[in-house]
Amino acid sequence: MKTGIYSSDVFGNIIEFQCKVTKGLPSVQIVGLASKSIDEAKDRVRAAFHSAGLDFPKGRVLVNLSPADLPKEGSSYDLPIAISILQASGQIRPLNSKIFAVGEMSLDGLVLPVKGIIGRISKCPKDISAVLVSSDNYWQAKKATDKRVIPIQSIRNFVEILSGLSSPNIPKDASPTRLATNYDDAFSEIRGQELAKRAIILAASGHHNVLLYGPPGTGKSMLAKAFVSLLPNLSESEQLQTTHIHSLRDYSKDEMLVRPPLRAPHHSSSNVSIIGGGAKAKPGEISLAHNGVLFLDELLEFPRSCIEALRQPLEDREIHISRAEHSITYPASFTLIATMNPCPCGNLGSSKPCTCTAYAIESYQKRLSGPLLDRIDICIKVDEVPIDSLLKEIKPEPIQDLRDKIEATLRLQHERNGGKYNSELSNKQIRNIKIDNDARLLLDSAATKMKLSPRSYFRALRVARTIADLDKRDEITTSDIAECLQYRQFTHSN
């Protein structure tokens, strides 16, 4: 029996709700591969009807979730189940058009918010006339679709709106926003490390991956945190993507992420927590860092299998997770900022004596494989800072001026590269960039001497393109090549 009531799961699969009330002993049956949480909806909806003063059908109620061969779970189907029962029992008039409903029912009849609302609504059918959500989900839903969004406070409120007895109560407060941790002062607090700061600015200006290596206490972590403060706010489309992914992991119902996220998992984290997966194939840290930064402090302390698992998402900017029941592809377009010590004790190449054997140093550094190193655009050594400069007052460039410059550079790349940043350019696009003959000869010669792989060769060109963009030049010159090459000098036993 067609009802015109639809919903979807967190992956955007559309589900139609059909309901039939027949004579017989009072019972409610929900069919269509429904999970235990959906089967419990019959008790929540029954109690909600009683609290709202509505009549629950006294006959046999059968609710079908179509397509019947698609597994379904969660409490977000309570509202469409309740509406389908109201319609089948004649308590509301048959709907003249299709509606899309998402919401959990409480025992007192209130409609509660659910997570993943953006992903559920963004793929709703084109012929839907209205989207019904909890009032607490209203602002996220409003940003996710151009359909009419109606906030529903309770099942009684829905009946009154449908019958014309009341109008939708639009929440007065605008959507709250959640900002990433504020590191605005981190960049100006860094003393010395001019080359490293220049590398961080370049990385932010082209979304390049960075490896900072050197003795402990030299400012590697501080540089990584300063990187986030240089990035501009997310665009509207990026806000929707990022907020949707985060809503699959936490229970934020009506917040929008406006700043690039910073994810900094501990080195004891499991592979599944970083890459994603588990029984329900949830997104991992690399997907939660989408459109933002994945900061891996002490990279070589992470399990080797976890480090190597980063290779595919760094190249493809997505991660495909397959499980027995289903598979899903999550976006993973993040900027990797990694730090590492040069040896187990950390003192190699510093003023302090290194207590590690040559074998221990070699074994430690070889945990960073060549294929992963190839995928890192900028490798910079962070040396010790002279003691006399630590308390010296400096006059750094205003952080807002630096942000504006980086934002203008990113905007230029987006427009020129067809929506891509320099770090995302394909090899075909790299071959078409403007580079003078002397610069090309220098790069070819250096690539031969440094034994750069083809991947490293193209990544050097991407960084050179960013250097030229920062200086507002259309063509890559020898100075750009010379600078980008100094960021590819990491070798084992540095």
What range defines the domain where residue 360 resides?
194-485
Domain assignment of residue 189, yes or no? no
pLDDT in tens, 313-325: 999 999 998 877 6
Strands 276-277 and 282-283: antiparallel
- Do 104 and 112 form a contact (C-beta atoms < 8 A)? yes
Task: Indicate whether 243 and 150 sit together in one domain.
Answer: no
Last residue of a domain, one of 124, 143, 163: 163
Domain of 241: which CATH number? 3.40.50.300
Dihedral angle of Cα 190, 195, 201, 206, to the nearest 10 degrees: -150
pLDDT at site 229: 85
Does residue 198 share a domain with residue 158? no
User: Using an 8 Å Cβ cutoff, are 210 and 199 in contact?
Assistant: yes
Statement to judge: residues 86 and 205 lie in one domain: no
Please identify, among 115, 146, 163, the residue that sits at the C-terminal boundary of a domain: 163
Q: Which of 163, 184, 219 is where one domain is finished?
A: 163
**Are 84 and 151 contained in the same domain?**
yes
438/448 Cα distance (integer angstroms): 16
Residues 48 and 153 in one domain: yes
463 and 377, same structural domain? Answer: yes
Map tokens 């084992």 to a residue: 492
- Residue 187 within a domain: no
CATH number for the domain that contains residue 54: 3.30.230.10
pTM of the model: 0.88
Residues 337 and 463 in one domain: yes
What is the rounded CA–CA span in Å between residue 210 and residue 336? 6
Q: What is the pLDDT of residue 349?
A: 83
Closest CA to 88 of 46, 57, 126: 57
Task: Write the DSSP symbol of residue 170.
Answer: -
The answer to whether residues 83 and 208 belong to one domain is no
Residue 16 covered by a domain? yes
Show pLDDT as tens, one digit a residue, over the chain (494 residues). Answer: 566 899 998 888 999 999 999 999 999 999 999 999 999 999 999 999 999 999 999 999 999 999 999 989 999 999 999 999 999 999 998 888 899 999 999 999 999 999 889 989 988 888 999 999 999 899 889 988 999 999 999 999 999 999 888 889 888 655 545 544 454 556 777 777 888 889 999 999 999 999 999 888 888 888 887 888 889 999 989 999 998 898 887 656 667 888 899 999 999 999 999 999 887 788 999 999 999 999 999 999 999 999 999 999 999 999 998 877 678 899 999 999 999 998 999 888 888 899 999 999 999 988 999 899 999 999 998 887 777 666 666 666 677 888 899 999 999 999 999 999 999 999 899 999 999 999 999 999 999 999 889 999 999 999 999 999 999 999 999 999 999 999 987 765 55
d(CA 206, CA 355) in angstroms, rounded, equals 39
CB 252 within 8 A of CB 246: yes
Residue 180 counted as domain residue? no
pLDDT value of position 180: 46
Domain assignment present for 29: yes
Residue pLDDT, tens place only, 66-90: 999 998 999 999 999 999 999 999 9
* Residue 179: per-residue pLDDT: 46
Cβ pair 470, 491 in contact under 8 A: no
Q: Verify that 204 and 102 share a domain, yes or no.
A: no
Q: Are strands 60-66 and 14-22 parallel, antiparallel or unpaired?
A: antiparallel
Tell whether 198 and 151 lie within a shared domain. Answer: no
State the total domains in the chain: 2
- Same domain for 240 and 356, yes or no, is yes
In a domain, 168, yes or no: no
Residue 490 lies in a domain: no
| Position 174 in a domain | no
Q: Are strands 262-263 and 210-213 parallel, antiparallel or unpaired?
A: unpaired
The CA distance from 275 to 361, in Å, is: 28
Q: Are residues 349 and 400 in the same domain?
A: yes
pLDDT attached to residue 173: 57
Q: Give helix 478-485 / helix 454-470 axis angle, nearest 10°.
A: 120
